[in-house]
Amino acid sequence: MSSLVLAHTRYQLLEQIRVPLGLVASAFFPAASMLAFVVPFAGDDPAGATRATGSMMLIGAMSAALMGLSISVAQDREQPWNPYLRTLPAGPFPRFAGRILTTMAVMLVAAVPVLVIAALLTKASVTAPRLALGMAALLAGSLPFMLIGLFLGFLLPSKAAIGVSQVVFFPIAIVGGLFMPPQVMPEFLQALSPYAPSRGAAELVWSAATGATPGTTGIVMLVVWTVAAALAAAWAYRRDEGRRFS
């Protein structure tokens, strides 16, 4: 089974390299946001720059997980060989695991430009152990967004997935406090923020990078969102499976 997972991962990584648009998009937007907002407005504040760097990294990871995964899964469903792949005795796990591992690799690559900008142009500071912990928190916090991406990918055609994933992505990122510190958001957004999955993911990353104590509500809601997204993704997969073989 592990060899099948590695085979699917290798194939999907090669596809990412051959058509790197998704990788470029996931890396460009947070890097551009770093240059436009973090460097001029928070670059001289070590704590603020470190926290903002974590937010920008999470934006890139969310983009790869939610938008990239939903679009790629929806496009795969439209390929003529997809029904054949579903009949193979290995089952769906190797393909799913390969796609998740590929998405995680894209997340890590997308974080590199952000880290380089933070190191060269801001006073953000983090130790090597905290950086490693932050990258682990980034991957863990992105789990619900990968599951939401799978849900949209199994539910929608590829053209619809492109638009819907963008509509879902930006409000979640804004409410979670990724584009601006939660304390400066309007009061109604401050009240909603702890219940957004992006806020819980951000709390994980901020805590790992700075040592701050994460908010309890945000972490609990991150778990709730992960479970709900897993159930939704499983339902969408079974629905798509039933429609194809009915």
Beta-carbon contacts of 142 under 8 Å, excluding residues fewer than 6 positions away, are 58, 61, 62, 64, 65, 104, 107, 201
Alpha helices in the chain (DSSP H): 2-18, 21-33, 39-42, 46-62, 69-77, 82-86, 93-121, 128-141, 143-155, 158-175, 187-192, 197-210, 216-245
| pLDDT at site 82 | 66
Q: How many domains does the chain have?
A: 1
Question: Which has more pLDDT, 37 or 4?
Answer: 37
188-197: pLDDT as tens digits: 999 999 999 9
Query: At residue 240, does pLDDT exceed 70?
Result: yes
Tell me the mean pLDDT in the region 22-29.
79
Per the CB < 8 A criterion, the answer to whether 110 and 63 are in contact is yes
Query: At residue 219, does pLDDT exceed 60?
Result: yes
Tell me the mean pLDDT in the region 40-53.
90
| pLDDT at site 41 | 87
At residue 81 the predicted structure's pLDDT band, cuts being 50, 70 and 90, is: low
Domain ranges, residue 29: 2-245
Tell me the mean pLDDT in the region 109-124.
94
**Residues of the chain above pLDDT 70, percent:** 91
Query: At residue 14, does pLDDT exceed 90?
Result: no
Q: Which has the closest alpha carbon to 217: 205, 230, 233, 199?
A: 199
At residue 18 the predicted structure's pLDDT band, cuts being 50, 70 and 90, is: confident
Please spell the DSSP secondary structure of 129-165, one letter per residue: HHHHHHHHHHHHHTHHHHHHHHHHHHHS-HHHHHHHH
Tell me the mean pLDDT in the region 67-86.
79
| pLDDT at site 96 | 78
| pLDDT at site 27 | 83
Beta-carbon contacts of 25 under 8 Å, excluding residues fewer than 6 positions away, are 63, 67, 68
Average pLDDT for the chain: 88
| pLDDT at site 77 | 83
Please tell me the distance from the alpha carbon of residue 36 to that of residue 124, in angstroms, as a whole number: 16
